[in-house]
Chains A and B, each alone.
Chain A
């Protein structure tokens, strides 16, 4: 049933995924000139993801702050540090910290 629901809305989900990628691309392009607009694009992308229950791809998930929607550029608007086997990404605007485990594979 889950599968049939998914295939029924595949067109919608495909467009949603494309739009999320486009919006993050635009956010990256516009960030140096206007960080506020980049934040707006992140907000729109997240709204699309939430409404259509799409996961934001992992590489993009780490480019924004889950708490304030800011687009994060390491070194400018975020701090990336490795501490006790975790990658800690700090949003420099709201100081929210996100921790990702650092594990050796294989």
Chain B
């Protein structure tokens, strides 16, 4: 299942996430659950509504189903969800 090594290629929808570093300071610290994914954006359901956060310059902290936390550079995720599976080198 989802682990640190295959997070880049696995399903992000449903994972708890927190925006660690963001180019837009207002996005920093947003946390919630990923409810949708496009090529460039993550749609995150938070306590204060649904937010669309760009993947590219931001860093996300995902909590995997087994409880471990992984920091992921969002730039590595810029790809349509079904195409991410073919990513070659997992960096995490």
Contact = CB atoms under 8 A, between A and B. Distances in A.
A19 B83 contact: no
A23 B86 CA distance: 18
B10 A18 contact: yes
Contact of A12 (B2, B37, B81, B85): B85
Given A37-B35, A40-B36, A15 B85 contact: yes
Contacts, number: 41
Interface string B1-15: 110001001110110
B14 A15 contact: no
Most buried by B among A15, A18, A48: A15
Nearest to B34: A26
B-side interface size class: 10 to 19
Interface in B70-92: 81-83, 85-86
A41 to B, nearest CB: 7
B6 A15 contact: yes
Interface in A14-69: 15-16, 18-19, 22-23, 26, 30, 37, 40-41, 44, 47-48, 51-52
B11 A51 contact: no
Contacts of B1: 18
B82 A44 contact: yes
A61 B11 CA distance: 20
Q: Is the interface of A mostly helix, strand, loop or mixed?
A: helix
Interface of A: 12, 15-16, 18-19, 22-23, 26, 30, 37, 40-41, 44, 47-48, 51-52
Given A18-B1, A37-B36, A51 B83 contact: yes
28 contacts: A12-B9, A12-B85, A15-B6, A15-B9, A15-B10, A15-B85, A16-B85, A18-B1, A18-B10, A19-B85, A22-B13, A22-B14, A23-B11, A23-B13, A26-B13, A26-B14, A37-B35, A37-B36, A41-B13, A44-B13, A44-B37, A44-B81, A47-B81, A48-B85, A51-B82, A51-B85, A52-B82, A52-B85
